[in-house]
Structure 1
Amino acid sequence: MTTRIALFFFALFASVLLALASPVPVVNGELVDIEKRLTRSGRGTWFHPGMGNCGKRNGDNDLILAIGKKLYDRNGGSNCDQWVEIVANGKKAYGKTRDSCQSCTDNDIDMSPALFKKLAPLSTGVVKVSWHFMAKGWQP
């Protein structure tokens, strides 16, 4: 009987330790770790970048993008400088998050001309894209 009680408390203690060893990142009360694994599908457009919400100046030749303003705000700007993998027209490209897009939904992205051209000609204007955040610190 004593062995069973000891085994029970050992298992309980081990379970508590495992739960504590798996922290979940939270920004502004929201889970953000799962964000990098969520693939979004929406519209991809292009714009002429300048000074973005992330506080960095970019130009047409930089591989950057803007995410929807509501998504940017919900994450407290924590996606700044985070790379995104984008797929459209059977092509794949990577861009760095540097701005927010007022007219974009959470599933849309607005890309610099250089990034957009990796997926379609600028004359296309709008493309259907699938995209997701890469792990923070990842670089192509």
Structure 2
Amino acid sequence: MQFQSVSSLFAIVALFSAMAAAAPATKRKHEYSGVATWYSPKHNGGTKAACYGEHIDDDSNIVALNAPQYGDLGSNSDWCGKKIEIEGPNGKARASILDACPECDDGSLDLTPALFTKVVGDKDIGQGDITWRVL
């Protein structure tokens, strides 16, 4: 009788182990918080992005990443080209990291005017709290 109980216990443990192994792993993306500001590539900083020298304009869905996260401002960052989702008081938007913001604090982003209005609201607001994550 004891042998059957032990065998049954092993069978139950094996069943639960198989179920756990088959369950999909959920990995949460790291979320960052900061302040969104806006800049006009046409008038502030130029139309060549810090990343790869790509052309950017006021209507581009790109962001300038804060200097602490970007790293060496004189070279392409590991962040260059990453797709992100930004959420602010006015909504959500997707963008690419293609530029650097020397004045921005850790977690903060500088957005093009078009992106700023989608995420934060009217440009006259000047800045707004955001969260963002890499897609």
TM range (shorter): 0.5 to 0.7
2:132 is matched by which residue type in structure 1?
Answer: W
TM-score by length of 2: 0.68
Specify the alignment match of 2:31 in structure 1. Answer: 39
Please report the RMSD computed on the Cα atoms of aligned residues, expressed in angstroms.
2.2
CA-to-partner distance for each residue in 1:17-51, whole Å, 9 max, x for gaps?
xxxxxxxxxxxxxxxxx9x9221111000001221
What do the CA deviations read for 1:53-89 (whole angstroms, capped 9, x no partner)?
1011200011110111121117x61211111110111
Per-residue displacement from partner, 1:100-129 (whole Å, max 9, x unpaired)?
A: 100112210000011111021111110100
Which residue of structure 1 lines up, in the alignment, with residue 66 of structure 2?
68
The TM-score, its normalising length taken from structure 1, stands at 0.65
1:133 and 1:105 mapped to 2: Cα distance?
18
Q: Which residue of 1 aligns with 2:125?
A: 124
Structure number, greater radius of gyration: 2
Match of 1:51 among 48, 52, 71: 48
Q: What is the alpha-carbon distance in structure 2 between the residues aligned to residue 37 and residue 103 of structure 1?
A: 26
Question: Which residue pairs with 1:138 in the alignment?
Answer: none
Identity %: 28
Gaps spanning 5+ residues in structure 2: where? 1-26, 42-46
CA distance in 2, matches of 1:90, 1:112: 15
Superposed, 1:1-140 pairs within 5 Å as 37-49=29-41, 50-54=47-51, 55-73=53-71, 77-89=77-89, 91-119=91-119, 120-134=121-135
Q: After the TM superposition, which segments of 4 or more aligned residues of structure 1 sit over 2 Å from their partners?
A: none
| CA apart distance, 1:90 | 5.4
Distance in 1 (CA, whole Å) between partners of 2:29 and 2:90 is: 20
How far apart are the structure 2 equivalents of 1:90 and 1:110? 16
